[in-house]
């Protein structure tokens, strides 16, 4: 698990560069503001969010997971402690990657890791939905939606306060569930990759968009989530898969406008260079409108 930071950074940079190149070659929409203006503010939020996370939780979520496993805290850790002695060593695979001889124990591990990733993804769906529902939380999440143009950097544009609250929610879930460390790595790598993917300013052919949209949130589906229309913005909450929205009745397959003409952003935050500045982004949740 010492290489988790390298793995996450490598996947992040790889997906970011790929999406940025595709956006440059095959842009779906034209931005109102220059790339330099928008990217400076959006990418600054990444740095600030990372600093906040490091200050609040130096051990990272992986460290929280290892601590919970050592203390035997959390649903999955309790379940593993309850299995026969010959299988109790299965925590090795979840938290250190050491191979096991017991094939049945290995299957138990695979099931726990898979279930953990699914539960974390569902948690992010409901967290996202909550940030749209509770007015105080929406004030911070609104900064993400105030971007006048959706591209791969929008997937990184979150207020540091929202990052802090999200980190607390995820840490609490990791402890309560006893999520294994390897599941956290898989989940966070996937979450970051999908956030870059579905915010990218590209457009798939409609037939492929519909097919892929049966499982994943595509760029077009996520742009509906960034619509200025409240009923459309309050849908398609998933960051990766689309089945949570389908299951919990928040899926919108088509917007009132075409993807080319869909109004994006927030009406009370005009697309100006001033509103896209670092200071303006940080101050936005605290301003009365």
pLDDT in tens, 232-270: 999 999 999 999 999 999 999 999 999 999 999 999 999
Measured distance between the N- and C-terminal CA atoms of the chain, rounded to whole angstroms: 46
Q: What is d(CA 174, CA 146) in angstroms, rounded to the nearest whole number?
A: 31
Query: Residue 166 is encoded by which pair of tokens?
Result: 């999200």
CA nearest to 75, candidates 204, 221, 7, 175: 175
Contact 283, 41 (CB under 8 A): no
Confidence at residue 87, expressed as pLDDT on a 0 to 100 scale: 44
Q: What is d(CA 53, CA 51) in angstroms, rounded to the nearest whole number?
A: 5
- pLDDT tens profile 117-171: 999 999 999 999 999 999 999 999 999 999 999 999 999 999 999 999 999 999 9
Contact 199, 219 (CB under 8 A): yes
Contact 45, 158 (CB under 8 A): yes
Q: At 150, phi and psi to the nearest 5?
A: -100, 120
Total Cβ atoms within 10 A of residue 249? 7
Query: Residue 245 is encoded by which pair of tokens?
Result: 């929205």
Q: What is d(CA 40, CA 37) in angstroms, rounded to the nearest whole number?
A: 6
- pLDDT tens profile 34-92: 999 999 999 999 999 999 999 999 989 999 999 999 999 999 999 887 765 444 444 55
The DSSP secondary-structure symbol of 241 reads B
The average pLDDT across 87-110 equals 60
Q: What is d(CA 38, CA 57) in angstroms, rounded to the nearest whole number?
A: 29
CA nearest to 69, candidates 102, 116, 33: 116
Total Cβ atoms within 10 A of residue 271? 18
Confidence at residue 101, expressed as pLDDT on a 0 to 100 scale: 52
The DSSP secondary-structure symbol of 285 reads G
Helix H, strand E, coil C: the string for 153-198 is CHHHCCCHHHHHHHHHHHHHHHHHHCCCHHHHHHHHHHHHHHHHHH
Unique residue bearing structure tokens 């992986």: 62
Q: What is d(CA 267, CA 269) in angstroms, rounded to the nearest whole number?
A: 6
CA nearest to 100, candidates 78, 79, 109, 3: 109
């Amino acid at each position: 698990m010492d290489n988790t930071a390298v793995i996450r950074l490598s996947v992040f940079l790889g997906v970011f560069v790929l999406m940025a190149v595709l956006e440059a070659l095959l842009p779906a929409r034209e931005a109102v503001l220059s790339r330099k203006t928008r990217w400076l503010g959006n990418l600054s939020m990444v740095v600030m969010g990372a600093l906040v996370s490091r200050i609040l939780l130096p051990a990272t979520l992986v460290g929280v997971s290892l601590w919970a496993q050592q203390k035997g805290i959390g649903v999955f850790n309790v379940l593993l402690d309850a299995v026969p002695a010959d299988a109790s060593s299965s925590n090795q695979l979840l938290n250190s990657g050491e191979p096991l001889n017991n094939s049945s124990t290995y299957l138990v591990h695979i099931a726990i890791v898979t279930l953990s990733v699914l539960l974390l993804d569902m948690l992010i769906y409901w967290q996202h939905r909550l940030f749209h529902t509770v007015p105080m939380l929406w004030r911070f999440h609104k900064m993400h939606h105030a971007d006048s143009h959706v591209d791969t950097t929008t997937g990184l544009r979150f207020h540091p306060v929202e990052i802090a609250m999200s980190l607390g929610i995820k840490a609490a879930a990791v402890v309560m569930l006893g999520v294994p460390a390897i599941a956290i790595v898989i989940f966070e790598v996937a979450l970051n990759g999908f956030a870059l993917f579905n915010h990218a300013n590209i457009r798939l052919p409609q037939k492929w968009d519909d097919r892929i949209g049966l499982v994943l949130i595509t760029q077009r589906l996520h742009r509906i989530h960034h619509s200025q229309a409240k009923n459309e913005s309050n849908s398609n909450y998933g960051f990766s898969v689309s089945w949570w929205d389908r299951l919990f009745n928040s899926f919108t397959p088509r917007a009132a406008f075409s993807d080319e003409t869909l109004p994006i952003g927030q009406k009370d935050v005009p697309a100006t260079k001033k509103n896209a500045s670092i200071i303006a982004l940080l101050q936005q949740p605290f301003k009365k409108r």
